Amino acid sequence: MKRPKKDTEESVRVISRRAAMIGGAQLLFAGALVLRMRHLQVAESDQYRLLAEENRVNIRLLPPARGLIQDRNGVILAGNAQNYRVVLIREEALDPRATLERIAQLIPLTEEEIERAMRDISRHRPFVPVTIADRLSWEEVARVAANAPALPGVTPEVGLTRHYPFGEEFAHSVGYVGPVSENDLAALDNPEPVLMIPRFQIGKVGVERELEDSLRGSAGHRRVEVNALGREMRELDRQEGDAGLNVQLTLDRNLQAFTLARLEGESAAVAVMEIPTGNVLALVSAPSFDPNLFVRGISVPDFNALRENDYRPMSNKAVQGAYPPGSTYKMVTALAAFEAGLASPDERVFCPGHMDVAGRRFHCWRRGGHGRMSLIPALSESCDVYFYELAQRVGIDRMYAMAEKLGMGQRFEIPVSAMSTGLNPSREWKRARRGAEWLVGDTVNASIGQGFVLSTPLQLAVMTARLASNREIVPRLLHAIDGVEVPTPEAPPLGLQGTALNLIQRGMSECTNHQRGTAYSSRVVQTDLRMAGKTGTSQVFSITAAERAAGVRRQDQLPWNRRNHALFVCFAPETAPRYAVAVVVEHGGGGSSAAAPIGRDVVLAAQTGGLPPLEAYPQPQRNRIEAMLRELAAKVGPLTGPATTSSRA
């Protein structure tokens, strides 16, 4: 077949025309590609360069070392212990299970732990180090390291973990740290990135929590180049973080330890303050617990045991517990009346064992009555009727004002968790909260620290310190941050009449030192250590008619949780007060029998800076006390810090 020439020419013409059309379209397309390339590579290049950098560079945080917490003498209460652990990298280990089983022959590793490690290993990318054993001893780590050639992919590492060398002694006041929880993060508007570090720990309770910002420090960082899988290729630069600041508290480790040991077996709280600085030397709540358990991650049975304990070990009763102050409140009533000039020291009130007010009969704790009572014996023997009489004269408004002056119903600026305000009741309070008018019976109840009145042990210590000094002393717990002392402001005068206050102080002195005083059996006989105090017994439940019918007469016949709270406040030395102590023994029975002996031992320990001297106790008690002190010394262990400070009286 031969193609005509005309057809060939036509074919060439058509093909040329069509080729020109397609060629034009192709050039247009190529032009579009060039424009797009110019847009990406020239116009928006900076933005893409940035994105490439973000891809490439990862910032890894370096957790900072947490600041130490020290006692007033520099003894470390919360420190950082080296924590040895063993990590495994899957891609280097070849056969992780065989490796784990080999490790199990070197260090204790349960079947369960191996399973958990295997799960962790399979969950992470092959180059991510997985912790297989934590908190190892140096010997254990050394054993693993020595066998390194047989354990490919296994490396010992060292990190820091919080450690509380004195365990339960400071569980409430210093508190503890724990891993950052979802709740912690939710509470923060803009959480610091350091909180996102896996297993990073922050303060949960106590000083650890309240001073978190100072203690935490700031994280350092490493900039590393990573590939698309996140594997680190190399470190670009590294900046170490700033360690947290060291915090020094006013607490005294020896006194704290002695006090906690002294409270053993009780559900009780003690606050010890220094006069006139307000330094809190001991803040003890018993029973306590080991905060190290929480750092490690407490087991469910351990946690339930703490939570279900009737003695509430996790509650910091010294600041969180609000108790009816009982007779320890009588100083407030008396002072309100004498300040207002509504009573005179020589005036006597007859106590027949009860008083009828507004159609109701109010009993004195001594059913038989005290007879004719003036202020000082009324305080020393704790006659209730005397104070019923004063209360009716002075009225709740003046009592409220005096209680406030002495620190009741107040929250103090110290770094502790869950501080209670207690309750200093007033007419307004009752109207607002109870929707009822204040009754004279309420005033009578309040006069002996019953009814609505609630105080914390710390508030009672503040009250005692103020009564002893006539100064507006406030508690001080934080002594120094990063070596810089927090200034101690001089406590301003409280402005009470000297004569009235003197009477109260004498009443307190007779309570402990006069043989009719309720705390006479807890007296101190060594003159320079003598104390003045006041007992209190606050009713939680009345003995019911049914119980009375069943023959229950005495507190110790009642079940524990229905018995009265036992309280005692005191200051010493009597002549130049340096220490104020408040003791509350929950359901302890009576203030003079359960709380006052504790108060005496604690205030003696505070004054000597060590164990109480045997000579301070009355001769007949010494045998018993000596045995007790020996036992306590064994529990407290070696005394810490510089040999008893010269600043002590």
Those residues whose C-beta lies under 8 Å from the C-beta of residue 487, and which sit 6 or more positions away, are none
Q: Are 154 and 88 in contact (CB under 8 A)?
A: yes
Pairing of strands 69-70, 129-136: unpaired
Question: Does residue 59 touch another protein according to CB under 8 A?
Answer: no
Total Cβ atoms within 10 A of residue 514: 18
Question: Does residue 44 touch another protein according to CB under 8 A?
Answer: yes
Which of 22, 98, 148, 188 lies at the binding interface for another protein (CB under 8 A)? 22
Q: Which is nearer to another protein, 2 or 553 (CB)?
A: 2
Task: Pick the stretch among 43-51, 349-357, 438-446, 533-541 that binds another protein (CB under 8 A).
Answer: 43-51
Which of 29, 138, 350, 541 lies at the binding interface for another protein (CB under 8 A)? 29
Q: Which is nearer to another protein, 40 or 158 (CB)?
A: 40
Question: Does residue 47 touch another protein according to CB under 8 A?
Answer: yes
User: For 490, left (φ over 0), alpha (ψ -120 to 50), or beta?
Assistant: beta
Which of 186, 187, 228, 545 lies at the binding interface for another protein (CB under 8 A)? 228
Which of 82, 218, 227, 239 lies at the binding interface for another protein (CB under 8 A)? 227
Which of 1, 186, 432, 545 lies at the binding interface for another protein (CB under 8 A)? 1
Taking the complex as a whole, the smallest distance from the CB of residue 233 to another protein amounts, in Å, to 7
Instruction: Identify the residue whose tokens are 């045998």.
Output: 623
Q: Are 390 and 333 in contact (CB under 8 A)?
A: yes
Task: Pick the stretch among 27-35, 83-91, 287-295, 616-624 that binds another protein (CB under 8 A).
Answer: 27-35
Question: Does residue 158 touch another protein according to CB under 8 A?
Answer: no
Q: Are 203 and 181 in contact (CB under 8 A)?
A: no
Taking the complex as a whole, the smallest distance from the CB of residue 24 to another protein amounts, in Å, to 11
Which of 187, 229, 546, 643 lies at the binding interface for another protein (CB under 8 A)? 229
Taking the complex as a whole, the smallest distance from the CB of residue 253 to another protein amounts, in Å, to 54
Q: Which is nearer to another protein, 31 or 297 (CB)?
A: 31
Binding residues for another protein, rule CB under 8 A, total 47
Task: Pick the stretch among 13-21, 181-189, 526-534, 545-553 that binds another protein (CB under 8 A).
Answer: 13-21
> What one-character-per-residue DSSP string does 389-410 give?
HHHHHHHHHHHHHHHHHTTTT-
Those residues whose C-beta lies under 8 Å from the C-beta of residue 237, and which sit 6 or more positions away, are 222, 223
Task: Pick the stretch among 12-20, 196-204, 381-389, 576-584 that binds another protein (CB under 8 A).
Answer: 12-20
Task: Pick the stretch among 36-44, 333-341, 504-512, 564-572 that binds another protein (CB under 8 A).
Answer: 36-44
Task: Pick the stretch among 32-40, 119-127, 358-366, 544-552 that binds another protein (CB under 8 A).
Answer: 32-40
Which of 87, 107, 118, 226 lies at the binding interface for another protein (CB under 8 A)? 226
Instruction: Identify the residue whose tokens are 């053993």.
Output: 264
Which of 55, 122, 499, 527 lies at the binding interface for another protein (CB under 8 A)? 55
Question: Does residue 45 touch another protein according to CB under 8 A?
Answer: yes
Taking the complex as a whole, the smallest distance from the CB of residue 25 to another protein amounts, in Å, to 10
Nearest-angstrom CA–CA distance, 395 and 333: 9
Closest CA to 329 of 459, 417, 231: 459
Task: Pick the stretch among 30-38, 454-462, 536-544, 601-609 that binds another protein (CB under 8 A).
Answer: 30-38
Question: Does residue 225 touch another protein according to CB under 8 A?
Answer: yes
Nearest-angstrom CA–CA distance, 612 and 600: 9
Question: Does residue 37 touch another protein according to CB under 8 A?
Answer: yes
Supply 413's token pair. 């600026």
Closest CA to 269 of 311, 309, 207, 305: 311
Question: Does residue 41 touch another protein according to CB under 8 A?
Answer: yes
Q: Which is nearer to another protein, 18 or 624 (CB)?
A: 18
| Displacement of CA 315 from its chain's centroid (Å) | 9
Taking the complex as a whole, the smallest distance from the CB of residue 31 to another protein amounts, in Å, to 10
Cα dihedral sign, 317-323-328-333 = positive
Closest CA to 500 of 639, 406, 359: 406
Question: Does residue 122 touch another protein according to CB under 8 A?
Answer: no
User: Exposed, middle or buried, 18 (CB in 10 Å: 0-12/13-18/19+)?
Assistant: exposed
Which of 12, 185, 236, 576 lies at the binding interface for another protein (CB under 8 A)? 12
Q: Which is nearer to another protein, 185 or 233 (CB)?
A: 233
Taking the complex as a whole, the smallest distance from the CB of residue 21 to another protein amounts, in Å, to 8
Catalytic annotation on 374? no
Question: Does residue 550 touch another protein according to CB under 8 A?
Answer: no
Closest CA to 430 of 403, 453, 456, 455: 453
Taking the complex as a whole, the smallest distance from the CB of residue 96 to another protein amounts, in Å, to 25
Q: Which is nearer to another protein, 51 or 188 (CB)?
A: 51
Nearest-angstrom CA–CA distance, 218 and 201: 13
Nearest-angstrom CA–CA distance, 155 and 131: 10
Question: Does residue 195 touch another protein according to CB under 8 A?
Answer: no
For residues 465-477, one letter each, b for 16 or more C-beta atoms within 10 angstroms of the residue's C-beta and e for the rest, the string is bbbbbbbbbbbbb
Nearest-angstrom CA–CA distance, 452 and 422: 10
Q: Which is nearer to another protein, 54 or 346 (CB)?
A: 54
Which of 24, 33, 240, 242 lies at the binding interface for another protein (CB under 8 A)? 33
Q: Are 528 and 573 in contact (CB under 8 A)?
A: yes
Those residues whose C-beta lies under 8 Å from the C-beta of residue 533, and which sit 6 or more positions away, are 508, 511, 512, 519, 522, 568, 569, 570, 571, 596, 599
What is the helix, strand, coil percentage profile of the chain, to 5? 45, 20, 35
Q: Which is nearer to another protein, 4 or 559 (CB)?
A: 4
Question: Does residue 234 touch another protein according to CB under 8 A?
Answer: no
Task: Pick the stretch among 17-25, 262-270, 532-540, 547-555 that binds another protein (CB under 8 A).
Answer: 17-25
Nearest-angstrom CA–CA distance, 50 and 54: 6
Question: Does residue 185 touch another protein according to CB under 8 A?
Answer: no
Catalytic one of 288, 327, 426, 455: 327
Q: Which is nearer to another protein, 21 or 150 (CB)?
A: 21
H/E element holding 304? helix 300-308
Task: Report the chain's C-alpha Rg in angstroms.
Answer: 36
Binding residues (CB under 8 A) for another protein: these are 1-5, 7-8, 10-12, 14-16, 18-19, 21-23, 26-27, 29-30, 32-34, 36-38, 40-42, 44-45, 47-49, 51-53, 55-56, 225-229, 233
Catalytic site residues? Answer: 327
